[in-house]
């Protein structure tokens, strides 16, 4: 990303905020899925995959059960592939017993146009038939282009289209934060 001269960054969430948000989501998931017995947390690479693992840990702390976790790469299902050069694929890792009859909770870092989630629903459709599919995101920044909404939201963040939301995760970036970047193009 180009660090433009007049670019302004603002931290919207710091590490403790992120921790609290994930804890809350974990509780909500347990509540909504009646104890989380049949859930499968599927993170969308790369940062969604990290968040899914953290949610699983939180659920384990709260409930004592270890929920199934996996990752679901949606690259090959995207509708914007032809707008950018072909990119490397993320990892898809599903539990051995698959997704059939599970309550799949898709996990991603930012919900924006909804196109990634649409791709994820298509991808999911090709690997099996879950009983239900839910969506958990750390940040919902609005500007949906498809009829999609999240079941669990860490933070609703009003943004303009010219802004960029960037999520940092300790496991990948060495720190936890959500930044809102204005100007300098996104």
Instruction: Please report, as ranges, the residues that interact with another protein according to CB under 8 A.
Output: 73, 76-77, 81-92, 122, 126-127
- Using the minimum distance from each CB to another protein, give the nearer residue, 5 or 87: 87
- From first CA to last CA, the distance across the chain in angstroms is 8
CB of 166 to another protein, least distance (A): 23
- Using the minimum distance from each CB to another protein, give the nearer residue, 64 or 85: 85
User: Could you tell me the CA-to-CA distances from 131 to 28, 42, 125, 177 in Å, in that order?
Assistant: 18, 14, 11, 34
- Using the minimum distance from each CB to another protein, give the nearer residue, 54 or 102: 102
CB of 96 to another protein, least distance (A): 11
CB of 131 to another protein, least distance (A): 18
Helical spans, DSSP H, in 44-127: 47-63, 115-127
DSSP secondary-structure letter at 169?
Answer: -
- Using the minimum distance from each CB to another protein, give the nearer residue, 47 or 78: 78
What is the rounded CA–CA span in Å between residue 136 and residue 152?
A: 4
CB of 38 to another protein, least distance (A): 21
Query: Among candidates 152, 67, 172, 145, which has minimal Cα distance to 107?
Result: 152
């Amino acid at each position: 990303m180009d660090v433009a001269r007049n670019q302004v960054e603002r931290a919207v969430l710091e590490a403790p905020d992120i921790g609290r948000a994930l804890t809350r989501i974990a509780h909500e998931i347990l509540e909504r899925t009646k104890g989380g017995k049949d859930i499968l947390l599927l993170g969308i690479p790369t940062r969604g995959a990290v968040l899914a693992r953290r949610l699983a840990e939180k659920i384990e702390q709260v409930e004592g059960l270890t929920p199934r976790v996996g990752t679901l790469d949606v690259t090959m299902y995207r509708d914007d592939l032809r707008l950018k050069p072909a990119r490397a694929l993320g990892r898809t890792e599903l539990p051995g017993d698959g997704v059939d009859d599970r309550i799949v909770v898709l996990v991603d870092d930012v919900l924006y146009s909804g196109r990634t989630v649409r791709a994820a629903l298509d991808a999911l459709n090709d690997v099996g038939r879950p009983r239900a599919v839910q969506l958990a995101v750390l940040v919902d920044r609005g500007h949906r282009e498809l009829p999609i909404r999240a079941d669990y939201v860490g933070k609703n963040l009003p943004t303009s289209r010219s802004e960029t939301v960037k999520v940092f995760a300790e496991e990948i970036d060495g720190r936890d934060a959500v930044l809102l970047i204005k100007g300098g193009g996104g």
